[in-house]
Amino acid sequence: MIRSAYTDTRHGQVHYRYCRNEQTTDLPVVYLHKSASSSSTYKTLIEGLAYRFSGYALDTPGFGNSYDPDEVIDTRYYIDTLIEALDSIGLQRFHLVGHHTGACLGIEMAVLFPKRVASLVMIGPALLNPEERMRFRADYSSAFNQPVSDGQHLMLTWDYLKRMGVGNGLALHQREFLDHCRAWKGRVQAYNAIWDQDCLSLFLKVTCPMLATCAEDDVLWPYFSRVNQLHPKVQCIVTAGGNFEPDRDTAFHLQILSDFFQQQHVNN
Q: Is the pLDDT of residue 264 over 90?
A: no
Asked if residues 68 and 92 have their Cβ atoms less than 8 Å apart, the reply is: no
Fold of domain 3-131+197-267: Rossmann fold (3.40.50)
How large is the average pLDDT for residues 210-227? 98
Question: Residue 248: what residue type?
Answer: R
Domain ranges of the chain: 3-131+197-267
Q: How many CB atoms lie within 10 A of CB 221?
A: 15
How high is the pLDDT of residue 73? 94
Bond preceding residue 36 cis, omega within 30 of 0:
yes
pLDDT digits (tens, 9 = 90+) for 46-68: 999 999 999 999 999 999 999 99
Q: What pTM value is reported for the model?
A: 0.97
Q: Which residues pair with 222 in a beta bridge?
A: none
How large is the average pLDDT for residues 254-266? 91
Q: Is the pLDDT of residue 119 over 80?
A: yes
Bond preceding residue 183 cis, omega within 30 of 0:
no
Pairing, β 55-58 against β 3-8 = unpaired
User: CA nearest 142: which of 194, 187, 182?
Assistant: 187
For 41, 254, 267, the CA distances from 261, given in Å and listed in that order, are 20, 11, 10
How high is the pLDDT of residue 265? 73
User: CA nearest 105: which of 129, 74, 132, 130?
Assistant: 74
pLDDT digits (tens, 9 = 90+) for 190-215: 999 999 999 999 999 999 999 999 99
Q: Is the pLDDT of residue 7 over 90?
A: yes
Asked if residues 53 and 28 have their Cβ atoms less than 8 Å apart, the reply is: yes
pLDDT digits (tens, 9 = 90+) for 122-165: 999 999 999 999 999 999 989 999 999 999 999 999 999 999 99
Q: Rg of the chain's alpha carbons, rounded to an integer?
A: 17
Q: What is the average pLDDT score of the chain?
A: 97
Give CA–CA dist 11/185, Å, rounded.
17
How high is the pLDDT of residue 268? 66
Q: Is the pLDDT of residue 266 over 70?
A: no
